[in-house]
Structure formats: structure tokens, C-alpha cells
């Protein structure tokens, strides 16, 4: 008799588990149904970013081109996009209410500013690249462009490479923008006084102890420079000598880089997810400080890889002066099927990337550097670092500009990337200018 009771009980427990599971996951099941009518995605001003039933007539042919590779769709072909990873919020369904068609009110309200996003997208002209900007205090992502874009009305055939993903979330060689990290590492290791006392000579090239030469972009050299000038000149020999300095402890730098979120020599990187979308962060391979590739890594070439999103987050840590970055997010809030708001975004900060003293020091140096941009980006007090990354063995050059607006009423950190830029073409400065002007 006990056995019968036991079996019946076991079955009942199983049933309860089943019912709870189905009840909880039913909205996930329903988005796979052909009867499902998905809700819409809006930007911060109520502009529609995703509509399952969109037609060129209702929205205009190019309405979604600048944002579609971030927002994605429900086809299950575009993974790691906002809609595909958060499709349950759009299900227009609840177990008790059943499927609601056009009268369902499920939606996602994002933090994106579609007008600004479109302006930045158009500013790229014929060039490809990525631009991401967010409010470095709250974490709202305002602009997230990845070019080539995707026109959902154009069908999904004959697509350009990279048009189906958001490049800001994937790693690139950062070029000289890496020097911000190297500067932060050096300050954490030395402190301000010792670091300011260091000065190295640049004669257009520097032969390191490993008998390889690191060239400067200025063939005639910069002469003797301190850290401020070395950073402003983005002088490669300066940073190579900084790394080779007897006071520079490589082991300590590994720990400091890991704290900043790097995966050093295969260690676990900083894990970042923006509304269930996974974002690559940063990685580097460093061996010996007299080694060319290690020095090259600290300068931002070679094996160092950083995603634009991560570059932007370090700007947040610098601009706030705390060493902690605001965690970026895209979903401001969602609405349930009956229209009640839900899932309000929570502002949060990351763990400390570096100390607040370092943040303040780097901020000052970047602000100093930013004064050189008053002509190309007029009207803003910016902390800026540019960078040029050589890829494909120097055949192409990616142009970067990272920075922040120090105006507390306009707290924007940004990272702009133009791929395969040649002189005479659109500059990162002009894109940043477009970006900041449109976000005002």
C-alpha cells in the first residue's frame, strides 16, 4: 500500500512541476507559434524600431536600416539581437488571457535615440564602422550604429559582410586607444608623482632591448616628452620605453589589466551582457616586457583586442572619476500584454576597473588632449583619445576615437570606429560632432 501511495505521490509531484513549468514558460512557447502576434519595439521618443507587420509604405523604405542589426527580428536567424534575446517580452500573451492579437500591448521601450542614430549612420557616408554612445551616469545606450546596416525590407539575400550583427559588441584591434588603458595601468603602478617624473626620448623610432625597432608616426621624433606630451602625441617609442622601464612590473600589470576587464594570456575576461545580448570585452597576450609583441600589445596593436562597447565603458569609469563604469542597457521598460509597465531598468555600476585617483589623473590628461579638438568638434569640453589600428598586416587602417563630454548636464561617453579609413575621407571627429550635436 505504501508503494502505491509513493508512486501516486511521485506522479503528482511530477504533474505539479509540469504545470508550473508550462505556466512559466508558456509565453516562450507562444512566440514560436504561427498564431503569435508580436508587440513593437520603441525608441526613447516613441519612434518604432521593430514591427512584425512593418511595410515600406507605413514607415518608409529606409526607416530601420540604421538600427535593424541591433534590434534584430523574430526569424531565429539573427541571434544575439535585442528582439531575439528578449522575444518573450513581445509575446502579447499570458496564460490566462490567451493570445491577444492587435489589441495586445506588449512592447519594449528602448533607450535608443533613433533620430540621432540615423544621423550618425548617415554621417558615415560610404564608409563602414561602428559607433556607440551612452549616458555615462545612468547607462542608457543612446546611439548604437553598426555599418553596413541591414534593411529588413530589402530581403536577406546578397548581404554585405557584417551587416547582420552589431559590431560595437565585437572585438577589434584598438590601436592607440589602448594607451588609455596603458596609462591607467602605469598610474595604478607608479602613482602620479613617479609617473610624472618619467620622461623618455623619441627620435622617430626606438630600438628596444629585444633588438627590434618600434617606429613613431612622426618620422622626425618628438624629442624628450613627459607622460602628458607622450599621450597627446600618441608616441609609440614613449610607451615602449614606459613598458621597458625597470620600475614597470609586468606581473602587476597583468593583475591590473585583469581588473580592468582584460583576458590576459587566456584568463577569463570580464563578462558583459546587455539585456541578454552577450558582448565581447577585451583580451590581450603579453609575455616579456622587452619583447616586441608585448610592447606592441600595450600600444594597442598586435594581439590586443577590445570591443567598442568596452572602450566606451572605460570612458565612463574615467569621466565619472570613480573608476567604476555605468553598466549599459538598452531596455528602459517593457509593457505587459494588458499595458502595465514592467521590467524597469535599474541603474547599476560595474566593479572597480581602477582607483578613483587613476580615473581623475587619466581624465585630466584626456581633457588636456581634448583641447586639440576644439576646432573639429567645437562647443564641447571633451576628453578624447584617437587611435589608428593596423589590420591585415598594415594593408588597412581602422580609425578610432573614444572619449567623453565632461559637461555634467550632457554626460555622454562614446566610441567611434571607421573601418579602412584613408586620408581625405570622413573623419571620426566629424562623426563624433554629428553624434554629440544630435544628442543635445
**Residue 194 touches other proteins, criterion: CB under 8 A:** no
Q: What angle do CA 320, 325, 330 make, to 5 degrees?
A: 115
CB neighbour list of residue 111: distance below 8 Å, 6 or more residues apart: 44, 134, 140, 141, 142, 329, 330, 331, 332, 345
**Residue 341 touches other proteins, criterion: CB under 8 A:** no
Instruction: Specify whether the CB–CB gap between 296 and 305 falls below 8 A.
Output: no
Q: According to CB under 8 A, which residues from 298 to 337 bind other proteins?
A: 336-337
Shorter beta-carbon distance to other proteins: residue 60 or 98: 98
Query: Which three three-digit cell numbers place residue 226?
Result: 613627459
**Residue 26 touches other proteins, criterion: CB under 8 A:** yes
**Residue 40 touches other proteins, criterion: CB under 8 A:** no
Buried b (16+ CB within 10 A) or exposed e, 221-259: bbeebebebbbbbbbbbbbbbbbbeeebeeeebbebbbb
**Residue 344 touches other proteins, criterion: CB under 8 A:** no
The residue from 61, 95, 215, 224 that contacts other proteins (CB under 8 A) is: 95
Shorter beta-carbon distance to other proteins: residue 8 or 207: 8
- DSSP calls for 249-275: -HHHHHHHHHHHTEEETTPPPPPEEET
- Closest CA relative to residue 327, chosen from 134, 71, 45, 96: 134
3-state secondary structure of 246: coil
Shorter beta-carbon distance to other proteins: residue 2 or 211: 2
Q: According to CB under 8 A, which residues from 121 to 180 bind other proteins?
A: none
Kindly give the pairing relationship between strand 341-342 and strand 93-94: unpaired
**Residue 37 touches other proteins, criterion: CB under 8 A:** no
**Residue 94 touches other proteins, criterion: CB under 8 A:** yes
Query: Which three three-digit cell numbers place residue 232?
Result: 597627446
The residue from 44, 48, 54, 99 that contacts other proteins (CB under 8 A) is: 99
Query: How far is residue 64's CA from residue 51's CA, in Å, rounded to a whole number?
Result: 10
**Residue 2 touches other proteins, criterion: CB under 8 A:** yes
Query: How far is residue 142's CA from residue 440's CA, in Å, rounded to a whole number?
Result: 11
The residue from 160, 338, 351, 396 that contacts other proteins (CB under 8 A) is: 338
Torsion-angle region of residue 281: left (phi > 0), alpha (psi -120 to 50) or beta? alpha
Pick the piece of the chain touching other proteins (CB under 8 A) from 49-57, 89-97, 317-325, 373-381: 89-97
**Residue 77 touches other proteins, criterion: CB under 8 A:** no
**Residue 18 touches other proteins, criterion: CB under 8 A:** yes
The residue from 58, 76, 287, 376 that contacts other proteins (CB under 8 A) is: 76
The residue from 8, 77, 273, 372 that contacts other proteins (CB under 8 A) is: 8
**Residue 15 touches other proteins, criterion: CB under 8 A:** yes
Smallest separation, CB 70 to other proteins (Å):
21
Shorter beta-carbon distance to other proteins: residue 4 or 268: 4
- Give the containing element (helix H, strand E) for 382: strand 382-391
The binding site for other proteins (CB under 8 A) comprises 1-5, 7-8, 10-12, 14-15, 17-19, 21-30, 32-33, 35, 76, 88-89, 91, 93-99, 336-338, 340
Amino acid at each position: 500500500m505504501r508503494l502505491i501511495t509513493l508512486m501516486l505521490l511521485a506522479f503528482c509531484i511530477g504533474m505539479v512541476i509540469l504545470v508550473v513549468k508550462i505556466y512559466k514558460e508558456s509565453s516562450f512557447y507562444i512566440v514560436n507559434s504561427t498564431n503569435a502576434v508580436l508587440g513593437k519595439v520603441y525608441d526613447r521618443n516613441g519612434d518604432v524600431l521593430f514591427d512584425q507587420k512593418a511595410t515600406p509604405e507605413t514607415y518608409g523604405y529606409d526607416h530601420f536600416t540604421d538600427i535593424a542589426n541591433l534590434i534584430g527580428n523574430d526569424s531565429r536567424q539573427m541571434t544575439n539581437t535585442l528582439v531575439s534575446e528578449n522575444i518573450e517580452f513581445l509575446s502579447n500573451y499570458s496564460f490566462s488571457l490567451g493570445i491577444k492579437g492587435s489589441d495586445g500591448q506588449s512592447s519594449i521601450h528602448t533607450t535608443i535615440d533613433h533620430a540621432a542614430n540615423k544621423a550618425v549612420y548617415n554621417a558615415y557616408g560610404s564608409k563602414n564602422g561602428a559607433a556607440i554612445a551612452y549616458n555615462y551616469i545612468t547607462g542608457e545606450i543612446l546611439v548604437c550604429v553598426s555599418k553596413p546596416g541591414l534593411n529588413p525590407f530589402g530581403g536577406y539575400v546578397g548581404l554585405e559582410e557584417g551587416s547582420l550583427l552589431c559590431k560595437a559588441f565585437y572585438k577589434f584591434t584598438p590601436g592607440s586607444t589602448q594607451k588609455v588603458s596603458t596609462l591607467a595601468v602605469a598610474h595604478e603602478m607608479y602613482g602620479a608623482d613617479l609617473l610624472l617624473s618619467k620622461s623618455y626620448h623619441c627620435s622617430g623610432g626606438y630600438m628596444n632591448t629585444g633588438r627590434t625597432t618600434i617606429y613613431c608616426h612622426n618620422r622626425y621624433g618628438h624629442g624628450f616628452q613627459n607622460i602628458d606630451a607622450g599621450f597627446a602625441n600618441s608616441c609609440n617609442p614613449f610607451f615602449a620605453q614606459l613598458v621597458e622601464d625597470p620600475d614597470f612590473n609586468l606581473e602587476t600589470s597583468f593583475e591590473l589589466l585583469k581588473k580592468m576587464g582584460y583576458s590576459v594570456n587566456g584568463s577569463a575576461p570580464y563578462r558583459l551582457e546587455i539585456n541578454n545580448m552577450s558582448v565581447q570585452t577585451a583580451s590581450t597576450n603579453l609575455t616579456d616586457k622587452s619583447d616586441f609583441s608585448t610592447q606592441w600589445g600595450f600600444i594597442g596593436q598586435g594581439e590586443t583586442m577590445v570591443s567598442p562597447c568596452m572602450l566606451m565603458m572605460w570612458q565612463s569609469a574615467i569621466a565619472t572619476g570613480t573608476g567604476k563604469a555605468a553598466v549599459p542597457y538598452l531596455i528602459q521598460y517593457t509593457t505587459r500584454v494588458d499595458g502595465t509597465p514592467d521590467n524597469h531598468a535599474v541603474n547599476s555600476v560595474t566593479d572597480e576597473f581602477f582607483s578613483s585617483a587613476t580615473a581623475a589623473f587619466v581624465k585630466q590628461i584626456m581633457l588636456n588632449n581634448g583641447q586639440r579638438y576644439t576646432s573639429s568638434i567645437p562647443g564641447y569640453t571633451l576628453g578624447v583619445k584617437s587611435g589608428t589600428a593596423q589590420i591585415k598586416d598594415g594593408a588597412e587602417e581602422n580609425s578610432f576615437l573614444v572619449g567623453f563630454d565632461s559637461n555634467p548636464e550632457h554626460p555622454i561617453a562614446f566610441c567611434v570606429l571607421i573601418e579602412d579609413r584613408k586620408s581625405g575621407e570622413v573623419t571620426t571627429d566629424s562623426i563624433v560632432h554629428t553624434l554629440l550635436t544630435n544628442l543635445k
